[in-house]
Amino acid sequence: MPTAEQVFESSVHALPRSERLRLAALILQELAQADPGALDYSDSWSDEDISDLQAHSARHASSSFPQEDDFA
C-alpha cells in the first residue's frame, strides 16, 4: 500500500489548486463524520497547547527581531 506522501506526489500534486482544496475538504469531512468524538471542540487550552504557542512565539520573535549588539 502506498504512503500518503507517495499518493500526494504521484496524483494529488498534479491537480489544480482548486481540486486539491476540494480533496482536502472531502478528506476532512469524511474524518469528522467517521468518529465525531475524536474532535475536541472545547475552548480550553491544554498545557501542551500553551507550550506549543510559547515556543512558536519565541521562534517567530527571534527571527523577526534579531538581537542587535549595539543600540546606539
pLDDT for residue 52: 92
pLDDT for residue 71: 52
Q: For 16-69, how does the pLDDT look when each residue is reduced to its tens digit (9 = 90+)?
A: 999 999 999 999 888 878 766 666 677 888 889 899 999 999 988 888 877 755
65 vs 72: CA distance, rounded Å: 16
Name the nearest CA neighbour of 31 among 43, 21, 40, 39.
39
Give domain limits for the chain.
1-33
Record the pTM: 0.45
> What single string gives the DSSP state of each residue in 2-27?
--HHHHHHHTGGGS-HHHHHHHHHHH
29 vs 5: CA distance, rounded Å: 20
H or E segment to which residue 60 belongs? helix 47-64
pLDDT for residue 16: 92
pLDDT for residue 17: 92
